[in-house]
Amino acid sequence: MDDESKITPQFLVTPDEQSQAILSQLENNGLNPDVYEQIKNDPLYLQLNNALQGFPSTDQEIQKLNDEERLTFEMYLKKSALNHKRVEEKQKLVFKKGFKKVEQKFYQNQLKTSKIKKQNQFSIDFYEIHFKELSLKMKKHLTYFIHPQKKMQIGIITYQSGFKSFNQPYIRTILKSQSFRQEIKDYILNHFIKEVKEEMSFKLSKFIKFCSRMYEEALKEYYVNCAKNNDEEYFRNFIRLKMEQSIVKNSKCKIPWSFQEIIDAQKFALNLIDQEIDMENE
């Protein structure tokens, strides 16, 4: 064994199955409300939340964290540096959320007036109200405008969208509907930021919980396989690299969007709406 390998353990560049299983379990089961509140009161949560808001932590604040917390903070910074999002990706987040909210609002209003309609009839009514006029103008069947991740049943026939994914062409198409455009613009202006900021808090807590589990697993693996190596630098490198493998290099491990990214997403979405209005008025 050379000198380098004595202080630098070697790992695969991809996360192992165990870390993926823990992440999947956390995603599926969520967080116990008591655990969520406990994490929100931890010093680490405060520093990471400040980072999401765009407020850097001081050296003194970081020094107050314990080893596990400092390492988690380091993993967040490394993950954040790799977490660049395209304009289209930011717009997609806004419009997918907006579509869901506009649809939910419509269904809730329909339930107030008619409780005997079936779910698929509500869906048909939704598309007819917002896209019937556009379908005639574009000479497309109404089902062309279905959300790409959903289906519509009319009679015994199940229809799919005219688009393969919730992409830019689909977004630009549904924004040609004046009624839908106005509904989604109202959501973006008045509800989007508040809703996503609430999600940020929960996602940040889940990220902290996952990092804590990965720290525990790294310690277990070290003491099972490397306990005879009492070199302090090797120990620290082992834990750090194991966490990088499970967190930084794990595409399924997500960090919340920063507040600036949320503001940018809102701005880019509103710009796209304005572009459609300008094209309509030409």
pLDDT digits (tens, 9 = 90+) for 111-169: 777 665 566 677 888 999 999 999 999 999 999 999 999 988 877 888 889 999 999 99
pTM for the full predicted model: 0.82
In a domain, 277, yes or no: no
Q: How far is CA 88 from CA 35, 169, 171, 279, in A?
A: 35, 11, 10, 19
**CA gap 258, 261 in Å, rounded:** 5
Which of 5 and 207 is assigned the larger pLDDT?
207
Q: Tell me: do 179 and 104 sit in the same domain.
A: yes
Q: Tell me: do 52 and 138 sit in the same domain.
A: no
pLDDT of res. 240:
92
| Phi/psi of residue 159, nearest 5 degrees | -105, 150
In a domain, 268, yes or no: no
Q: Tell me: do 111 and 157 sit in the same domain.
A: yes
Of 162, 170, 166, 188, nearest to 274 by C-alpha is 188
Q: Tell me: do 178 and 217 sit in the same domain.
A: no
pLDDT of res. 7:
54
Which structural domain, as residue segments, surrounds residue 26?
Answer: 3-65+196-261
**CA gap 253, 247 in Å, rounded:** 6
